Amino acid sequence: MRLDKFLKLSRIIKRRTVAKEVCDTGKVLVNGRVAKPGTDVKIGDIIEIQYATGAVKAEVLKISEHVTKENAKDLYRIITGKEIE
């Protein structure tokens, strides 16, 4: 699954266009490497997002094409940092 789509479906970032813009600025790392919006995300990957107020690091637990808002948090596990509300 594309990184920008995963960030949107998991609701780590609320909109896909915003996820794409964040990736384009080089603020998203997948397994320690700068990632583009089209980077393929797999189970077990570590995603790190640099925000102005800090960073969040999450592990991908599941990949799903469709997910409800209530089940979105089942797609990942926060390792460090705090989720953006």
- Residues 2-16 have pLDDT tens digits of 999 999 999 999 999
Q: Average of pLDDT values for 46-51?
A: 93
Distance CA 9, CA 1 (A): 10
- Residue closest to 75 by CA, chosen among 34, 47, 35, 37: 47
Half-sphere exposure of 54 (CA within 13 A, CB side): 7
For 19, the token pair is 């996820």
- Residues 55-71 have pLDDT tens digits of 899 999 999 999 999 99
| Contact partners, residue 53, CB within 8 Å, separation at least 6 | none
Straight-line distance from the first to the last Cα atom of the chain, in angstroms, rounded to the nearest whole number: 24
Domains (ranges, CATH) in the chain? 3-80 (3.10.290.10)
